[in-house]
Structure 1
């Protein structure tokens, strides 16, 4: 007879892992079981298959769009192109979007989309045909629109794909005045917003920087306050991981290890993310970077001693098998679902602070919200006030100089006179959002000592906000 251990029996799908975390947190809320079931359930799952000509052949594409919650509209969530896409994954990511938006006070319901393809296997022309056909399928079922469901980039997609989605939507809905708000993550010339590309990585930095500035938390970990000198490891050198590593490096942290799918490099004195990126672009890999040591296995990087570990790649990279070997004091989940429930339990018992994905990587959806607002208002941020502010600042400075008889340097004058433009306002809004969310989650733990980890606290915050929305809508008489 074959026997298995209790740990081996505890295997969960991605969506089941999300539900397990939800159930763990729900006992700390006031909501009755029926309301909790409604909050947890996916409201609409659209699974489609459509034909597209690829070369001389017809290929049937499998695709999904899941709307997890309609407590607020529109729904919001990215579209990923990956061979690993399946219904369970898309449902889990849509659920996380609901909770993520609630925590950072972005008025969207959660959604997610995915196409089961490897984009590297197609030419740009073929990818365009697939993307446009997918968009047409969404339009047919009313699964896209500025007031209904607003997609965004995700793994395997970017500004180019969002441009194709926008153009297809406009062609099928001519004359819709707010059509540019049907999708976010667009290029600037098509209604995109400055700061969107780096938003998720920058949000990760803002959130972890604020945690590191809380003396009580750092004292508990035996670490000094602040970012400077912290030893950081980043897994994933995609858009999110690169920008997170870049901002930590610029703030004075030591990025001692960078991990990619094909290898990992280590330098105890710190790595320069921009130079590593140049090396990868030139050679096709981060391996053999001058001055760094190549690790035997890329997964070994997750287990190196460090202050902050940032998984910024795919889900379930830290599980019940390797969690005990993780030596980081703080784990910042830049990716979606990088820790399994078993890993959470092990790391919590070790006293590791896990800053959960459901608000730490919310920078992308936060700035997508700003882009959506920009599209609905039909005006660029800063356009109305920038010059007025600059003229006023210069006038005030001139008055002070006349009164004091002292002159400031040209550099200081330029800094003082500067009026906020779009990227300044986007960064400011993102910073405020991440700092507020971190303290809100932390306060939930302080208010209820039975809540032992930030993930549970974050879920409690999200559940309470979504439940209150349903209650206010009168859906539960």
Structure 2
């Protein structure tokens, strides 16, 4: 298949088949895991100004081995059934890899959100939600959407309001969607979750001495030269946390140009420059790269594509200089690019693991909605009181007093955002080690993506076996 006619879903299936050979499951179970269970394609009319537009939209539920299904909704003119199926499949494997008990799903509305007013976007979103309700493709125990490319907490607030109005007796209705504003049942820490998860994953990869020695790099993220493609929510937060940890951001890439400075770029200053001038180009001290794709090929230790899929392909993979590629976007490498980079010895941290921070924190939000209690509410004061008792006892025994700043630091109990960040960090560290252990212990497996798929297939296969539907 030529890359001009590249099927994203076929690419996901290709990676699945590569990994499935290393599992113990029968052909029937593997076919069931791979298949998209339910596909909804709808067209609905919405009045836009003085005329009616017919909007095309999708919702795909890839797997029901666990319920509810989980996955974002994107607003983009690039939306098509193949893309939504592929993204839904990746959500299934992603949830399994990070031990989040959801099946995979994805949604898409084929519009350019920049061409509509806020009022028009609200009408489209609410009508789409109504269509999902009519077809039983949304609900806290059925299918739980979230933000994705072209959507945000604003659209999620419209979705939850519409769902509640159509299901007034559902006490858990606020759990029908995640990524909501905190005032509507959202969780603190969701905004930065995917980018922070990318940082935790890259940091963990850089902490493995054996792997860093193989790549000729020092252990640790500090001092690593990083290029990030895409300064949206994910790319910005990944860049921010990497820079705060001591990494050097040498390149930033956007759709209308890229900049490079081997001595480092201040992410906040570059973001402010882009907001003022509409482009990263002409940022003080940096070299302009007018063709964004060329930004991927600049010298660096770590490349983090955090935009759309298939940006690294067989046409440019051999020119990628990075020793580590962290897939913050969904499917930024085609399977052909995968093979080329793996032969070069590049460490590829796969998307189905690395960008799972969003769904992990979405899981925390969903649990919060079902429990009807804010994280930290039950233990914060208890913890602070216990820490106070400990500090007072130590001061009495040592006859020394801590400073006020030290007392505040030690005695502070966990807020919701502390617990969310802690849970995310634990998830990303544990999952990376599980994938790497699978890579090390499975003869014939030579890359992290295949190891991640093996981890996912093993967990989903066991779930299907335990359902008892296969003799």
Report the TM-score range of the alignment, normalised by the length of the smaller protein: over 0.9
Which structure 1 residue ranges, 5 or more long, are not aligned? Answer: 1-6
The structure 2 residue matched to 1:126, chosen from 120, 124, 131, is 120
Listed one character per residue, the Cα deviations across residues 353-390 of structure 1 (whole Å, up to 9, x for unaligned) are 00000010000000000000000000000011101111
The structure 2 residue matched to 1:195, chosen from 181, 189, 192, is 189
Report the equivalent of 1:273: 267
Listed one character per residue, the Cα deviations across residues 383-439 of structure 1 (whole Å, up to 9, x for unaligned) are 111011111101110110110011112221111001011000000000000001100
Cα distance, 1:399–1:386 mapped onto 2, change above 3 Å = same
The structure 2 residue matched to 1:150, chosen from 112, 135, 144, is 144
Report the equivalent of 1:12: 6
Whether 1:452 and 2:417 are equivalent positions in the alignment is no
CA distance in 2, matches of 1:383, 1:259: 41
Whether 1:166 and 2:157 are equivalent positions in the alignment is no
Listed one character per residue, the Cα deviations across residues 84-135 of structure 1 (whole Å, up to 9, x for unaligned) are 0000000000000000000000000000000000001100000000000000
Cα distance, 1:328–1:117 mapped onto 2, change above 3 Å = same
The structural deviation recorded for 1:168 is 0.3
The structural deviation recorded for 1:9 is 7.7
User: What root-mean-square deviation, in Å, do the aligned CA atoms of Structure 1 and Structure 2 show?
Assistant: 1.0
Report the equivalent of 1:109: 103
The structural deviation recorded for 1:286 is 1.3
Report the equivalent of 1:422: 416
The count of corresponding residues between Structure 1 and Structure 2 is 471
CA distance in 2, matches of 1:15, 1:9: 13
- Give matches, 1:30-179, under 5 Å: 30-179=24-173
Is contact 2:256–2:290 with CA below 8 Å preserved after alignment? Answer: no
The DSSP-based 3-state class of the residue aligned with 2:284 is coil
Report the equivalent of 2:384: 390
The structural deviation recorded for 1:449 is 2.9
CA distance in 2, matches of 1:286, 1:441: 36
The DSSP-based 3-state class of the residue aligned with 2:454 is helix
CA distance in 2, matches of 1:292, 1:194: 35
Which structure 2 residue ranges, 5 or more long, are not aligned? Answer: none
Q: Taking structure 1 as the reference length, what is the TM-score of the superposition?
A: 0.98
CA distance in 1, matches of 2:238, 2:433: 20
Cα distance, 1:58–1:466 mapped onto 2, change above 3 Å = same
Cα distance, 1:266–1:29 mapped onto 2, change above 3 Å = same
Listed one character per residue, the Cα deviations across residues 136-188 of structure 1 (whole Å, up to 9, x for unaligned) are 00000110000000000000000000000000000000121000000000000
Cα distance, 1:411–1:311 mapped onto 2, change above 3 Å = same
Whether 1:355 and 2:349 are equivalent positions in the alignment is yes
Report the equivalent of 1:3: none
Cα distance, 1:163–1:8 mapped onto 2, change above 3 Å = closer
The structural deviation recorded for 1:296 is 3.2
Listed one character per residue, the Cα deviations across residues 184-233 of structure 1 (whole Å, up to 9, x for unaligned) are 00000000000000000000000110110110110110100001100000
